[in-house]
């Protein structure tokens, strides 16, 4: 083909069968080397990268699962605490209510006693007053009667 390269291609270089053995020889060498590279370097490397990525993703997924479990545990704990606090609150509420009731009843009793005392005192005073007033009225009415009799007798 040296002459052809000087004069330009005569016909199609692709159909020049004298170059075929050379082409196929180099192609076979090329294919074998390329296949070796693919098999020995590229595939292990890519699979390694892929497996690494997979491992990390799986690790992250496992970690997320673990965290989820822990969150559930913590949630349960919080609920427990909440329930305890509620119970305590109820307890405090009920005891304080009882206390208040007791104190109120005591105060009520006290006030009852005090009022009844007051009422008694008042009644007593009223009685004395009434007694006083009765005698006064009697006296007044006696005076009045005497005066009336006096006037009447004078007028006669």
Find out whether 19 and 1 touch, Cβ atoms under 8 Å. Answer: yes
d(CA 41, CA 54): 20
Q: Between 45 and 151, name the residue whose CB sits nearer to other proteins.
A: 45
**Is 61 near other proteins (CB under 8 A)?**
no
Selected from 18, 154, 155, 156, the binder of other proteins by CB under 8 A is 18
d(CA 96, CA 105): 14
d(CA 149, CA 154): 8
d(CA 80, CA 76): 6
Tell the smallest beta-carbon distance from residue 9 to other proteins (Å): 4
Selected from 49, 69, 104, 144, the binder of other proteins by CB under 8 A is 49
List, in order, residues 6 or more apart from 19 with CB less than 8 Å away.
1, 13
Interface with other proteins by CB under 8 A: which range of 31-39, 71-79, 107-115, 131-139? 31-39
**Is 44 near other proteins (CB under 8 A)?**
no
d(CA 66, CA 61): 9
Q: Between 29 and 104, name the residue whose CB sits nearer to other proteins.
A: 29
Query: Which residues make up the interface to other proteins (CB under 8 A)?
Result: 1-2, 4-5, 7-16, 18-28, 30-31, 33-35, 37-39, 41-43, 45-46, 48-49, 52-53, 56
């Amino acid at each position: 083909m040296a002459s052809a390269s000087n004069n330009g291609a005569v016909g199609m270089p692709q159909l020049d069968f004298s170059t075929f053995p050379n082409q196929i020889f180099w192609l076979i060498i090329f294919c074998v080397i390329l296949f070796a590279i693919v098999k020995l370097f590229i595939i292990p490397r890519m699979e390694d990268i892929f497996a690494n990525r997979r491992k990390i993703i799986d690790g992250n997924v496992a970690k997320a699962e673990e965290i989820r479990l822990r969150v559930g545990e913590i949630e349960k704990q919080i609920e427990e605490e909440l329930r305890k606090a509620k119970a305590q609150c109820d307890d405090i509420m009920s005891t304080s209510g009882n206390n208040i009731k007791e104190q109120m009843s005591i105060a009520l009793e006290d006030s009852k006693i005090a009022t009844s005392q007051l009422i008694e005192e008042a009644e007593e005073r009223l009685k004395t007053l009434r007694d006083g007033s009765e005698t006064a009225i009697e006296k007044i009415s006696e005076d009045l009667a005497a005066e009336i009799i006096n006037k009447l007798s004078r007028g006669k």
